[in-house]
Structure 1
Amino acid sequence: MTLALPTPVLWTLAGVYALLGIATAIALSLANIHQDQDHRELKARIQSWWIIVTVFSGALLLNRTISILFFAILSFLALREYLSLIPTRLSDRRVILWAYLAIGLQYFWVHIGWYGMFLIFIPVYMFLFLPMRMVLIGETTGFLNAIGTINWGLMLTVYALSHLSYLLMVPTATNPSAGGTGLLVYLVLLTEINDIAQYCWGKLLGRHKVVPKVSPGKTVEGLLGGMTVTTGIAVVLAPWLTPFSPLHALCLGLLLSLMGFIGDVTVSALKRDLKLKDSGTLLPGHGGILDRIDSLTYTAPLFFHFTVYFYVGGQWL
């Protein structure tokens, strides 16, 4: 099925590309003006953003199946990166194989629109099946740590992220102006803007640490600045991309900015426990996949269920 992107979505994506063009021009100007300073990380970040936005928008422009496949691949890469960081036992490999197979099934439920199975497959059936499979192997040393590690990784990188793709299945009647794609773009845009805004405000005004033992770079000023910017943009874009009332858009702006922060520091706690700065090197200037999607692991499910509760109602039940 081809996704003829609604006009509001196309204009929003065009706006994102325009902002990237402005950011690129600013970075080049800074490099020319301040030649004594190292701007390589800034350039790498912007270059990675060009790639991320191009791949994301390309997946949306093709068709719904390709879009769902894109998120399945994203989950696969995120789970693989996660498991590459976490110490696992040799005997866990057969259990991990089942975790990878669960990715295909989870996104298959999305593809066929089986809402009930989408909701419970990983948190119920895989949660019960993986420990059973591990028990049959017979290795009891480190059992609790191993199964907890795999189950949490599956929830974080597959279940949470799969809510992004199910937004594409939202009935058109729910959001006549921009459809499910508009909701998806709205969510991703606000989450990523929040990350950028919190980073910028923290660099400019940051004085007071929020969680110094987990993420020393996070400040109260950065958090509040990011929440203000994100909430403002949420209210402005809501009539364009969503069916949300001004009050709901305001609430979502506050919720997404706060939950994005929590998702970020939760993955930061994981990396600090493992004594790592970044989760990988796939995205220059950003780190790994987990470094880029950490906020979405919290914002995606919350945004999805907020939308379903207030706007979709019982249409999927």
Structure 2
Amino acid sequence: MTFFSNLKPNLFIAISSIYGLLIIAELVLFGINNKYKNSDFSELRARIRSWWIMVTIFTVALTINRNLSLIFLGIVSFLALKEYFSIIPTRRADRRVILLAYLTIPLQYYFAAIGWYGMFVIFIPVYMFIIIPCRMILVGETKNFLHATGTIHWGVMTTVYCLSHASYLLSMQISNLPAGNAGLLFYLVLLTQLNDVAQYVWGKLFGVHKIVPRISPGKTRIGLLGGLLTTAVTGALIAPWLTPFNMLNGLALSIIMGICGFVGDVSISAVKRDIGVKDMGNLIPGHGGVLDRVDSLTFTAPIFFHTVNYFYAA
């Protein structure tokens, strides 16, 4: 494969638009920083700087070639699973079981890379569901057995299985994709992250009534509705450019993804509240850890993938 073999004209325009939005964000930050010199905008500045880095890394991984994209997504799963295991309570006897959990990453992404759909969809939900307790039984530790099997398998399902659906988009056999397979992945990630940002902005500006105050105090009704509206309109407009969906189908799918993204976000928030931590990590300044950034994607990726697979895959 040659460099930038995945970069079709429609995808190039979409990526350029994201960088344009980042430049606008920098100009807005510069303006409000000069106008409100006594206010602290360090968190906002850190968030924008982090977005520059994340967008650039994602762009390079997405556009150079398919293999690099798969490796990049596999690394994201690894970092997310590592953060998860670093904060959940685990038993000393489960060290080798956790090693097995990490080994699912190269296998799951290999199945995605070669397009082995049958094994891809059942390997972790079925085989690892059986293998994990079998390995624990061999250890012989019964204390907190149910809790250990549940937390380990849930972590693998969330950070590896669900996220790996994004990678399989690159292996799907679909004819006449306007932006190639990379366009599907870009559309998924763009709408998921846009939904997060839009919910945050709408909630900060106009949000009053909390939705799930005990789980995520920052989530408001206006934030959710505003995020859904922003995601739906954007998804409908760009669907014909990046996906096989028309505007109407893109609108419906974007609304579903917006709801799923919200549920994924608050699900990880519930895990953090249960454990008693604010963020899953501190790798990304202003955003927390990798899992904090891809929490919505854990729910949107499977929904988007199976929708595309049902209607368009060969």
Q: Does the aligned pair in 1 maintain the 2:114–2:171 contact within 8 Å?
A: no
Partner of 1:127: 129
Partner of 2:194: 193
Partner of 2:172: 170
Query: Which of 47, 50, 53 is equivalent to 1:48?
Result: 50
Partner of 2:267: 266
Q: How does 1:58-77 map to 2 (within 5 A)?
A: 58-77=60-79
TM-score normalised per structure 1: 0.97
TM-align CA RMSD = 0.9
Compute the displacement of 1:245 (Å): 2.3
Letter in 2 for 1:79: L
Partner of 2:312: 311
Residue deviations 1:167-224, cap 9 Å, x none?
0112240x43112111111111011111111001001110111111111110000000
In 1: Cα distance, 2:6 partner to 2:90 partner? 44
Partner of 1:217: 218
Query: Which of 149, 156, 160 is equivalent to 2:151?
Result: 149
In 1: Cα distance, 2:242 partner to 2:197 partner? 21
Letter in 1 for 2:79: L
Letter in 1 for 2:35: I
Range moving further from structure 2, 38-47 or 243-252: 243-252
Residue deviations 1:50-98, cap 9 Å, x none?
1100000000122111110101110000000000010101110000000
SS in 2 for 1:72: helix
In 2: Cα distance, 1:73 partner to 1:123 partner? 21
In 2: Cα distance, 1:196 partner to 1:299 partner? 15
Q: How does 1:257-296 map to 2 (within 5 A)?
A: 257-296=258-297
Residue deviations 1:102-137, cap 9 Å, x none?
111001111111111111111111111111001100
Query: Which of 23, 26, 39 is equivalent to 2:28?
Result: 26
Residue deviations 1:215-247, cap 9 Å, x none?
111000000000011000011001111110233
Question: Could you list the runs of 4 or more consecutive aligned residues of structure 1 that deviate by over 4 angstroms after TM superposition?
Answer: none
Corresponding pairs, count:
312
Compute the displacement of 1:25 (Å): 1.4
Q: Does the aligned pair in 1 maintain the 2:174–2:312 contact within 8 Å?
A: no
Q: Does the aligned pair in 1 maintain the 2:47–2:286 contact within 8 Å?
A: yes
In 1: Cα distance, 2:100 partner to 2:240 partner? 42
Range moving further from structure 2, 84-93 or 27-36: 27-36
Letter in 2 for 1:254: I
Compute the displacement of 1:311 (Å): 1.5
Q: Residue 231 and residue 237 in structure 1: after superposition, are their counterparts in 2 closer, same or farther (change >3 A)? A: same
Partner of 1:35: 37
Asked if 1:93 is matched to 2:122, the reply is no
Q: Does the aligned pair in 2 maintain the 1:170–1:179 contact within 8 Å?
A: no
Partner of 2:110: 108
TM-score normalised per structure 2: 0.98
SS in 2 for 1:4: coil
In 2: Cα distance, 1:12 partner to 1:256 partner? 19
In 2: Cα distance, 1:16 partner to 1:145 partner? 42
Range moving further from structure 2, 109-118 or 188-197: 109-118
Residue deviations 1:145-181, cap 9 Å, x none?
00101000000000000001100112240x4311211
Which consecutive unaligned segments of at least 5 residues does structure 1 have? none
Q: Does the aligned pair in 2 maintain the 1:171–1:179 contact within 8 Å?
A: no
Compute the displacement of 1:4 (Å): 3.1
Compute the displacement of 1:274 (Å): 1.2
Partner of 1:138: 140
